[in-house]
Amino acid sequence: MTDAPVIGVLALQGDVREHLIALAAADAVARPVRRPEELAEVDGLVLPGGESTTISKLAVIFGMLEPLRERIRAGMPAYGSCAGMIMLADKVLDGRDDQETIGGIDMTVRRNAFGRQNDSFEAAVNVASLGGGPVTGVFIRAPWVESTGTDVDVLSRLRNGTVVAVRHDRLLATSFHPELTGDHRVHGLFVDMVRASR
Ligand code: GLN
């Protein structure tokens, strides 16, 4: 498809490969992004799951933090899953003291929020605006969204009310990992957001 959007996956650490596969399945041209020159060439960016403190540290070392902030400020669509959600949050609770985020979504997230007994679990999650029934939410030492600004749309809550997916304009974030399930609807939603932004 010639009009397929080019979507990068920030490839400093985390489950990059799974996102590349999911994006390709959702009809995007997907490529890893490690350097500012590569970032300049994509229409949108995925921030993968992994370890946000490590991604933060490597983003500083690789000179990517400011270029990432600039592109997001300029309106590039981005989607963050799990650690990627943390990277898109304006504020983080229970982060490391030196932990930086890219920011962009007016929200506060809590790292490792679900606690030890629930470090990893699966739950059926309804995502607003996604047809076809709930997705399987895979939560792995996941963050939750503790509070959101007025311009942020809450897309998903667990049964107890915990917010686990949000959208703020061109930015999308989930506590869970749709890239691990073979269900590409969340990536499809993001690809549509990138298409609409061009
Ligand atoms: N606990 C990790 C962090 O704080 C996120 C885990 C994940 O991405 N699966 O970055």
Per-residue pLDDT tens digits of the chain, which is 198 residues long: 568 999 999 999 999 999 999 999 999 999 999 999 999 999 999 999 999 999 999 999 999 999 999 999 999 999 999 999 999 999 999 999 999 999 999 999 999 999 877 789 999 999 998 999 999 999 999 999 999 999 999 999 999 999 999 999 999 999 999 999 999 999 999 999 999 998
Catalytic residue (one of 18, 19, 100, 177): 177
Beta bridge partners of 7: 30, 44
> Which of 109, 140, 175 gets mutated to test ligand 1 (max ligand atoms within 8 A of its CB)?
140
Q: What's the rounded Cα separation, in Å, for the pair 94 and 163?
A: 17
CA 198 to ligand 1 center in whole angstroms: 31
Six token digits for residue 144: 């939750």
> Which of 13, 53, 141 gets mutated to test ligand 1 (max ligand atoms within 8 A of its CB)?
141
Query: For residue 28, what are the contacts with CB-CB under 8 A and spacing of at least 6?
Result: 4, 5, 6, 7, 44, 187, 191, 194
Q: What's the rounded Cα separation, in Å, for the pair 198 and 150?
A: 25
Helix (H, G, I), strand (E, B) or coil at 54: helix
Catalytic-residue membership of 168 = no
- Residues in contact with ligand 1 by the CB-under-6-Å rule are 49-52, 82-83, 86, 111-112, 140-141
* CATH number, domain 6-197: 3.40.50.880
Catalytic-residue membership of 146 = no
